[in-house]
Amino acid sequence: MLRRALIAASGSRVLRRIAEDAAVASSVAGRFVAGTTLDQALAATGQLNRAGMSVTLDHLGEAVHDAAVAARNTGAYVAALDAVHHAGLDASVSVKPTAVGLDVDQELCREHVARICTRAAQTGTHVTLDMEGSQHTQGTLDLVLDLRGKGQDNLGCAVQAYLYRTEHDVRVLSGAGASLRLCKGAYAEPSSIAHQSRTDVSASYLRSAEWLLQHGVHPRFATHDHVLIGRIRDLAVRHGVGLDRFELQMLYGVRPPLQRRIVDAGHRLRVYVPYGQEWYPYFVRRLAERPANLTFFLRALVGRRGS
């Protein structure tokens, strides 16, 4: 119930305005968001690179219904790719389709994603389309399949294990050569289309993970669940998959000690680093995902207000 309430709050314009105007909230959100500017994101990227971790940058913004804003977000990604290249950093980019126009016009969005992919290819890196709510799942898959068919072979996407359709989608996308990021899912979806229990979601995740280890194209496993990470490692050993053939992914600011242990154990780890002014929806979904995140936020909020 709390998770659903928080996810609903992530879409509230009123709560978003209040939070973005509150210096305390934005300060605490800095645990999960690298900053509001590209320079701050690049500084965080450099620090993570020096610790042996790769990065995927997310310029925050979503649910855009204005073509001019979608174009501006696209330009921000191109600027990020140029800056990463010039700085010699190890970073790819992650793009929410609705940030670059999926809710405005699918063809416009396709043009924007193609522009980002082209610049990424020129700088030798990869583009991942983030997976948003279920109303955008098919549109996101269509973008990946269409653009890969037109030669954008550095484009992949995230898939969400809690959706019933995902095991089929994994096979279709992998068949097109797409590299996939497998995650559990961060939106509130009904039981008609998504697993509801943690046990069922984890079981679905592991089924797709095992298939990807055997048949996928450089699969990327996004989870902070140390039990799942151990199971993925066991599956890789069972199927003779070397550590260089897949990577683990985690979110900026979530379980840093575990991130360091993963790298020390010889695994490839990529950290998802969000930045930008539009931090509120992303931050609230992080609170919804894990009770520990919400506890951290409330304690910090009380502490800062009392200081």
Give catalytic residue positions. 130, 181
d(CA 187, CA 243): 30
Task: State the amino acid at position 126 in one-letter form.
Answer: H
Encoding tokens for residue 82?
């140029």
CB 276 within 8 A of CB 245: no
Determine phi and psi for 40, rounding to 5 degrees.
Answer: -65, -40
d(CA 154, CA 127): 6
**Cα distance from N-terminal residue to C-terminal residue, the chain:** 32
CB 301 within 8 A of CB 25: yes
d(CA 299, CA 294): 9
d(CA 141, CA 21): 36
In this structure, how many other beta carbons lie within 10 angstroms of the beta carbon of residue 82? 14
Q: Residue ranges of the alpha helices (H) in 88-126?
A: 106-122
Residues facing 157 on adjacent strands: 129, 180
CB 221 within 8 A of CB 182: yes
Find all residues with CB under 8 Å of 221, minimum gap 6, and list them: 181, 182, 209, 228, 229, 232, 246, 247, 248, 249
